[in-house]
Amino acid sequence: MFERIAMLRCLATAAVLVGFTLPAAAFELSFAWGDTPPCDSGRPAVVASPEFQLANVPPGTRVIAFEMTDLNAPDFRHGGGTVPYAGNDTIPAGAFRYLGPCPPAGPHRYMWTATARDRGTTFGRTLGEATATRSFPH
């Protein structure tokens, strides 16, 4: 019996070391730019986050990490933020600050990615992920 328990612990440790995880669940995300200030200089300012709507967030979610990508300039890092999650379907505008959308020539498409995690660190287990895309200026 002791040998069997020791073997199971060894297998569990090996699974963690090679990155074995359960697949993350998908959930739903939408947003509106709201009061995001207009900008076309290509030099984004630090602005307040838009309001986000969530649905079907995985059970056990403690934080949601948001990150924005400019799909027309994917190498530019806009950043994002991490917010505590307590079951609310709305993350209010201004929950964090990031480098806002600021396309230098015409509208760009921006994608927000929301990652549900079981704890508030980058080492938290990913429970689910959602994306939403909109143009700016709208």
Give, for 131, the enclosing helix (H) or strand (E). strand 126-136
Q: Look at residue 54 in the predicted model and tell me its pLDDT.
A: 97
Pair of tokens at residue 55: 């649905």
**Alpha-carbon span 132 to 138, nearest angstrom:** 14
**Alpha-carbon span 84 to 15, nearest angstrom:** 29
pTM: 0.80
Q: Look at residue 124 in the predicted model and tell me its pLDDT.
A: 84
**Alpha-carbon span 116 to 102, nearest angstrom:** 27
DSSP-based three-state secondary structure for 11:
helix
Q: Look at residue 122 in the predicted model and tell me its pLDDT.
A: 67
Query: Given phi > 0 = left and psi -120 to 50 = alpha, else beta, which region is 62?
Result: alpha
Across the chain, which has 138 residues, the per-10-residue mean pLDDT values are 46 43 76 93 94 96 96 93 94 97 92 93 87 93
pLDDT tens profile 90-128? 999 999 999 999 998 889 999 999 999 998 776 789 999
For residues 86 and 48, is the Cβ–Cβ distance under 8 A? Answer: no
